[in-house]
Structure 1
């Protein structure tokens, strides 16, 4: 019996517009390295691509489906292929290639990251750790999914909400701005991965989603807000995993706009985010004159309470899911990306790359799935309350 124990899908990645844009598997550059703690598999690609992973039984094997053209070389012609009992690859679905790695012993996928940092080094990096046979089987029941799942049906919407909520998801940093970097991980890459995972969850829950960036490119802070507004977004959620001196911060935190925030760490993070635009020659400092700032504050009289309510709902769902949170999980800060006066906005710090525990969680597909589910549930709960409050405001 085939048993699927883990699935990671990124359905929202845009389709390539031309044949030369389609990534290709670089089999010859792929490598697998065994150490005392398991296996490191680095599947090289000519460019980033959507992918999913599964561990199947009888025989035990790792399956990687990637939206890329197959490699020119045989599937098992790469450094370290002998760490697997067999390796094979073949076209699977339109535009997808399936690679199958037969395992010599039971493994669990501990981390999966699409790396895009260096030219020629783009690829999917996996960490596999050995587990007992019973644990391999036990994981089967934790998360199961198949390619032939039915497409989600369009939800029946409340008449008071004739249009689905449109959410702008903003993966922080990108391009020349890598964001925080620690242990070989780039914040920009991790946030783009998570943005696609979260997008898939939100779409299945009946929401519409726009992304402020879909690949590893630089987008200025003002451009991110402009994109959200041009898309008629109802919400903006900016995703980050920042860096502070080790020991200062760990766990998820949610920020809403507060120009007077007196928390030192919050001020450090806000200043660090704005410096990213300075790197690209854009300076947001002093762009709001006193009159404009006053008008924006007046407009925020409606959106700010909604942003704060959204932050509390998401925080509650994270806590209920047992996800690691900062000791003060809901805060205010003067992040420029939160300045929009007419769109409820928040910045979600998924964790801090300077914290070893957070790094492990950010690269753990199971943890990311829990996080994206909790965020989706928080938005859903907030939307119900917000609709009720909107009705009261009308009266």
Structure 2
């Protein structure tokens, strides 16, 4: 299977910031672990970025579409004005049955991570990477970078990042 992985943000766009963490660096770290898991599982992987560079949303979609990816995963961290907001959620393009099915498998694996609240699967038609890709696409909001416990338990450490990547990979491999 040909899988495009899109680490959110990058370069001049750090994404959300929580504590000393930038969303762009956490998304890249999780994505690199995810790439390794999927390659080890026999899949071909295209990364939209492998370093801290800025890539437009249009270019991210073009890369995946031109490469003819079978699925597209965009990795992010959530943020909210309230530091109490926590958990993971998956975003899909409205009406995408295959995207919802893929998200369901990923969601099932992420749900097993201790202390990661389930915020569900939500349709979002306003997100360019979901709207502009021609294959099933899921945007993973791994945890809240604005929540101190989510940062500590899931986003700051190699262990937490690798655990998220393994869960996403498990869901993908169950879907294929």
Q: TM-score scaled by structure 1?
A: 0.42
Candidates 194, 206, 214, aligned match of 2:30: 194
Counterpart in 2 of 1:270? none
Q: Is the 8 A contact 2:9 2:15 kept in 1?
A: yes
Map 1:65-80; keep pairs closer than 5 Å.
none
- Please give the alpha-carbon distance, in whole angstroms, between the structure 2 residues aligned to 1:307 and 1:340: 13
Where 2:166 maps in the other structure, the secondary structure is helix
- Aligned counterpart in structure 2 of residue 212 of structure 1, from 29, 48, 54: 48
Q: Does 1:325 align with 2:117?
A: yes
User: Which residue of structure 1 aligns with residue 80 of structure 2?
Assistant: 244
Contact kept in structure 2, 1:224 and 1:337, CA below 8 Å: yes
Q: Map 1:89-128 to 2 at 5 A.
A: none
Q: In the alignment, is residue 380 of structure 1 matched against residue 170 of structure 2?
A: no
CA distance in 2, matches of 1:325, 1:256: 19
Higher RCO, 1 vs 2 (CA within 8 Å, ≥6 residues apart): 2
Q: 1:172-218 deviations in whole A, cap 9, x for unaligned?
A: 01111111112121111111111111111111111111000111111
- Report which stretch shifted further, 333-342 or 165-174: 333-342
Which whole-Å CA distance do the structure 2 matches of 1:341 and 1:370 have between them? 27
Cα separation, 1, equivalents of 2:9 and 2:74? 10
137, 151, 160: which one pairs with 1:367?
A: 160
**Preserved CA contact (<8 Å) 1:323 1:371:** no
**Structure with more of its chain in helix, by fraction:** 2
Please give the per-residue CA displacement for 1:254-292, whole angstroms capped at 9, x wherever unaligned. 00013xxxxxxxxxxxxxxxxxxxxxxxxxxxxxxxxxx
Structure 1 residue runs without a partner (length 5+): 1-164, 259-300, 384-395
Q: Give the 3-state SS of the residue equivalent to 1:351 in structure 2.
A: strand
Separation of aligned partners in 2, 1:347 and 1:171 = 10
Q: Is the 8 A contact 1:179 1:242 kept in 2?
A: no
* Structure (1 or 2) with the larger CA radius of gyration: 1
Normalised by the length of structure 2, the TM-score is: 0.92
> By how many angstroms is 1:367 displaced?
2.0
The number of equivalent residue pairs is: 174
Aligned to 1:288: none
Between the aligned partners of 1:331 and 1:249, the Cα distance in structure 2 is: 16
Q: State the alpha-carbon separation in 2 of the partners of residues 172 and 244 from structure 1.
A: 17
Q: For the residues of structure 1 that align with 2:91 and 2:157, how far apart are their CA atoms? A: 23
- Cα distance in 1 for partners of 2:134, 2:128 equals 14
Write the mapping of 1:243-262 to structure 2, written as runs, cut at 5 A.
243-247=79-83, 249-258=85-94
CA change 1:234–1:323 in 2 (3 A) is: farther
Change (3 A) 1:216 1:245: same
Q: Which residue of structure 1 aligns with residue 104 of structure 2?
A: 312
Output one character per residue of 1:145-192: Cα deviation in whole Å (capped at 9) or x when no partner.
Answer: xxxxxxxxxxxxxxxxxxxx0110000011111111121211111111
> SS at 1:320's partner residue?
coil
Q: Secondary structure at the match of 1:380?
A: helix
- Counterpart for residue 337 of structure 1: 129
